[in-house]
Amino acid sequence: MKQLDKTDVKTYWEGFNGGDWQDEINVRDFIQHNLTQYNGDESFLAGPTEATTILNNQVLNLKKQERAAGGVLDADTKVVATVTSHGPGYLNKDLEKIVGLQTDKPFKRAFMPFGGIRMAEDALKSYGYTPDPEMHKIFTEYHKTHNQGVFDVYTPDMRKARHYKIVTGLPDAYARGRIVADFPRIAIYGIDALMAAKKADFDNIGDGEMTDDVIRLREQVSDQYRALNDMKKMAASYGFDISKPATTAQEAVQWIYFGYLAAVKTQNGAAMSVGRIDTTIDAFIERDMKRGLLDESQAQELIDHLVMKLRMVRFIRTEEYNSLFSGDPIWATLSLGGVGFDGRHHITKTAFRFLKTLDNMGAAPEPNITLLWDEKLPEGFKRYATEVSISSSTIQYENDSLMRTEWGTDYYGIACCVSAQPIKDGVQFFGARANLAKAILYAINGGMDEIGETQVGPETEPITSDVIDYDEFMKKFDVQAGWLADVYVNALNAIQYMHDKYYYESAQLALKDTHLDYTFATGISGFSHAVDSISAIKYGKVHPIRDEKGVAIDFKAENDDYPRYGNNDDRADDIAKWLIKYFYNKMNTHHLYHGAKLSTSVLTITSNVVYGKNTGTTPNGRQKGEPFSPGANPAYGAEKNGALASLMSTAKIPYHYATDGISNTFGVTPNTLGHDDETRKDTLVHMIDGYMENNGMHLNINVFNKETLIDAQKHPEEYPTLTVRVSGYCVYFADLTKEQQDDVIARTFFEEM
C-alpha cells in the first residue's frame, strides 16, 4: 500500500499515540495504540440530555404512527436511492448532535430497485403505494436487476428446489448484505486519504493483461472510488467536509455515521452491520476530554444520538420477506468488547455508553448489540451487561476467544446477526439456508416432496419397510443430501456472481481493503429435527405411516426414549457433530464463486417458522407445519435435563465447520436466575462464562415471564417497546406476526423446578 501523505493530515492526529497506522490504513493499529481500558463499574455514566429526551420522544411517536399506519409511514416511489439521491433530512436540526437520514424525511423508506424491480414494487404495493410506471420501464427495459440476472441463469433443478422450499430465503431478489465495513477509517483518515489509497491500489491491479478477475476488480475499485466521492458530497449537503480526519469526537461519530448512512442509502441488505466502532470513538472522546472539550453528559449524548439514528433506519420489504425475517430488522449489528491478541480487553467507557443507551432511550431492537465475550472482560462490565440483559433482553453474547482464534484476527466484527468477519479484509457472501429436516423426508420418500407430492430430489426407491432400517436410510440420505448440497451451492454461485455484477456494494467495500478474503456462507435449517430424526431411526425403531400415494406423513417411534439432542447425551450429540461436518464436506466438493472459502451456519433468524410451515411431519415427532426450533436450539420439549445440559449439547457443535455461527436462544424467567438482582447477575455471568469455556459460540438471552408475553400479545399497546431476542437479532414483540409470537411463547423457557 502507498505511504500516506502525512504532511496533509498530521495536525489532525495531535493528541493520539502514533504507530504504523500513520503510514497506512490500519484501524487496528490505531486502536492498539490508543486504547483506554476501563475496569470500573457503570456509576460514571450520564443520563439523557434534554435534547435526547425530546428527540427520542419524537422517534417513539413516529414509531407509534408507523405501527398505526400498518408498518410503513411514508415511502419513495420514484427516486432511486443512491448515496446522493436525497437532500438532507432531519428530526430537529437544532437538537441533533449527529445528523443524516436515508431519505429527506424521518421514517420515509427509500426506493431500492437494484436487487429486483418486482420485489421493490411488490413491497410498495403491499403497503398501499403505487409504484411509478416510469421506474418499471427503466428497470425492465433499460436496466437489468440482480434478480433478473439470477433467474436468467437458474437451472430447472434450482427453481424446483426453491419452489418446494428445500432451499429458502436465497438472496436472489434482495441484497445479500453481511458486509462489515471499516467505518472508523473515515474518522481516522478522512475520505481524501482513502481515495488516494484506492487510487494507488487501482494503479496496481494487474499488469495490463485483462483477465476476467482483473477486469472485475478494476471496475469494482472504480466504483468504490466514486462511492467515496459521493460520501463527501452527501456529507457536504449536511454542511460537513469529511475529506479530512475528524478533529473532535462529535466529528468522529458523525464521520463514522456518514459512512454507515452511505451503506444504508444504497443497500437493502439482509444485515447492515455497524461493525466495531466503540474503541475508535472512545479514543476521540478521551482526546476531547483531555482537551476539556467534552464532559460525560456530552459524550453520552453523542452515543445516544448515533444509536437513535441506527434505530431509525428503515427498508421497505415484501410480505414474503417479512414472514422470513419478521419485525422489520436491519441487523445494525454493533460489536462491543473483546480481547486483543496482546491479552488486553477492549472494554472502554464507550462500551458502557452504548449499553447505557438502552436505559436512556428505552429498549429497542436496533442496533443489534453483540458483546464479544471473554472470561477476561472486567467484572464491572460483565455485571453491567447482564443487568441490561435482565432488564431489556436486548443483548447477544458471542465467544470472542473462539472467533479471534478461528479467524486469526482480533479486529473482526459481527456481520448480520451472528457471523464473524475480519473488518479489514474479509467479506462474507451470504447464502441463506438448506432445509436438512426436509432432506431426511426426501430420503424416506425417494426424493418426493412430502408436501407437494412431486418428485423434487433424485428419484430413489422409497423406504417401504414397516420399521425404517438405519443403514438403508443413511444410504438414501446420502443421495438426497448430496443432491441438496449440489443444487444449493450452485444456486449460490449464480447469486453471488450476479450480485457482484448488478448490485455491487461499492460504498461498503470502499471502506475495506482492495484485496479481500471471501467466505461462501451457507446455512442449515431444521438442524435439531434432523439430528433427532436420525437418532430416532437409529435408536427408536421408527414406523412410518404412509398416505395412499405411499408418502410417509407421520411416524411412530417404538422406543420413545431414544436420545435427543439437547440433553448433553453423546449418543445424540455425536449425530449433531457428524451431521454438520458431513454436510459441510458435501458442499465443499463444489466450485465456489470467486475462490471463496466455504463456511456454514446453524442459525435461522425467525425463518424457523416459515421453514417449519413448509416441512412435513419429521421422524422425531415434530408435526407437519410446526415451526422448527430456532438456530441450533434443541427441538421443543426434547430437553429433559435442564438448561445447562441443553447448552452443553449446542456447545459441542464444532465451530470450525460452522464459522458463520451456531445460534442459541435462551429464554429464562427472572426467578429461575435467582431470587434477587445480585444473584441473577451472578448466575448469568457464570452461565455465559461456562458456556464460552465449553466453546459455546453464541447466546441470545431473554429474561421474562411467559405471562408477560401472553399479555403483550393481547395488549400490544401496553408493551410498545417490549423487545425479545430471536435467533441472532432483536425485535419488538409487537412487530412479530401472530405465528411468530406464538412460537416465541411456546419456546422452551427454563423455569424454576
Partner 1 sequence: MKLIDNTKTPLNVLDSIGVEDEGPVKGYVHSLESFGSVDGPGIRFVAFLQGCRMRCQYCHNPDTWNIGVGTEMTADELLDNAERYRAFWGETGGLTCSGGESLVQIDFLLDLFTKAKARGISTCLDTSGGPFTRDEPWFSKFKELMKVTDISLVDIKHINSAEHKKLTGIGNENILDMIQWMSANGCDMWIRHVLVPERTDYDVYLKQLGDYIKTLNNVQKVEVLPYHTLGVKKYHELGITYPLEGIEPPTADRVKNAEQLLHTADYTGWKTWKPAN
Minimum distance from residue 381 beta carbon to partner 1 (Å): 17
Handedness of CA 348, 351, 357, 360 (dihedral sign): negative
Q: Do 347 and 37 meet the contact criterion of CB atoms below 8 Å apart?
A: yes
| CA end-to-end span of the chain | 61
Residue 375 beta carbon to partner 1: minimum distance, rounded to whole angstroms? 10
Q: Which of 203/693 has CB closer to partner 1?
A: 693
Minimum gap (Å) between residue 304 Cβ and partner 1:
34
Return the number of the residue (79 or 746) whose C-beta is nearest partner 1: 746
Q: Are the beta carbons of 433 and 169 closer than 8 angstroms? A: yes
At 571 the three-state DSSP class reads helix
Query: Is the CB of 560 or the CB of 693 nearer to partner 1?
Result: 693
Which helix (H) or strand (E) element contains residue 101? none
| 4 residue type, one letter | L
Cβ proximity to partner 1: between 282 and 400 the closer is: 400
Three-class DSSP category at 198: helix
Least distance from C-beta 683 to partner 1, angstroms?
A: 4
* Cβ–Cβ under 8 Å, residues 647 and 470: no
Nearer to partner 1, 482 or 674 (CB): 674
**CB-based contact 432:170 (threshold 8 Å):** yes
Q: Measured from the CB atom, is 319 or 375 closer to partner 1? A: 375
- Dihedral sign of CA atoms 580, 170, 81, 138 in order: positive
Measured in degrees and rounded to the nearest 5, phi and psi for residue 698 equal: -145, 145
Cα–Cα distance, 59 to 53 (Å, whole number): 10
Burial of 558 from C-beta contacts in 10 A (0-12 / 13-18 / 19+): exposed
C-alpha cell at 361: 432511550
Closer Cβ to partner 1, 8 or 682, answer by number: 682
Indicate which residue of 228, 302, 416, 609 is catalytic. 416
| Distance in angstroms (rounded) separating the CA atoms of residues 403 and 382 | 19
Closest CA to 248 of 98, 470, 457, 440: 98
DSSP secondary structure string for all residues of 375-396 = TTS-HHHHHHHHHHHHHH--EE
C-alpha cell at 233: 458530497
Alpha-carbon span 615 to 625, nearest angstrom: 6
Residues 6+ apart with CB under 8 A from 116: 145, 146, 147, 148, 172, 173, 174
Which lies closer to partner 1 via its Cβ, residue 417 or residue 648? 648
* Closer residue to partner 1, CB minimum distance, 7 or 753: 753
Distance, CA of 222 to CA of 194 (rounded, Å): 13
How far apart, in whole angstroms, are the C-alpha atoms of residue 493 and residue 501?
A: 12
Q: Could you list the residues that contact partner 1 (CB under 8 A)?
A: 568, 641-646, 648, 671-675, 678-679, 682-683, 685-687, 689-691, 693-694, 750, 752-753
**Residue 506 Cβ, how far from partner 1 at the closest point, in Å?**
45
417 is catalytic: yes
CB of 679 to partner 1, least distance (A): 7
The residues facing 109 across adjacent strands are: 75
User: Nearest distance from residue 674's CB to partner 1, in Å?
Assistant: 5
- Residue 132 or 682: the one with the smaller Cβ distance to partner 1 is 682
Shortest distance, CB of residue 626 to partner 1, whole angstroms?
A: 23
CB of 640 to partner 1, least distance (A): 9
Query: Which of 180, 221, 417, 685 does the annotation list as catalytic?
Result: 417
Residues 6+ apart with CB under 8 A from 686: none
**φ and ψ at residue 77, rounded to 5 degrees:** -115, -10
271 touches 177 (CB < 8 A)? yes
DSSP-assigned letter for residue 731 = E
**Minimum distance, C-beta of residue 589 to partner 1, in the bound complex (Å):** 36
**Pairing, β 698-703 against β 395-399:** antiparallel
Give the shortest CB-695-to-partner 1 separation in angstroms.
Answer: 10
- CB of 386: closest distance to partner 1 in angstroms? 13
Pick 674 or 716: Cβ nearer partner 1: 674
CA pair distance 583, 598, nearest whole angstrom? 11
The residues, any chain, with a CB within 8 Å of residue 245's CB and separated by 6 or more, are 9, 12, 13, 187, 188, 189, 190, 193
Could you check whether the bond before residue 367 is cis, i.e. omega within 30 degrees of 0?
yes
Nearer to partner 1, 152 or 693 (CB): 693
d(CA 692, CA 14): 40
Identify the three-state secondary structure at position 215. Answer: helix
Give the DSSP H or E segment for 598.
Answer: strand 597-599
**Helix ranges, 445-469 (H):** none
Q: Does 730 participate in catalysis according to the annotation?
A: no
One-character DSSP codes across 610-636: HHHHTS---TTSPPTTPPPPSTTPPPT
Pairing assessment for the beta strands 108-111 and 419-422 based on DSSP bridges? unpaired
Q: Which of 739, 683, 695, 691 is nearest to 713 (CA)?
A: 739
Q: How far is the CB of 479 from partner 1 (least distance, A)?
A: 37
User: 389 or 723, CB closer to partner 1?
Assistant: 389
Catalytic residues: 416-417
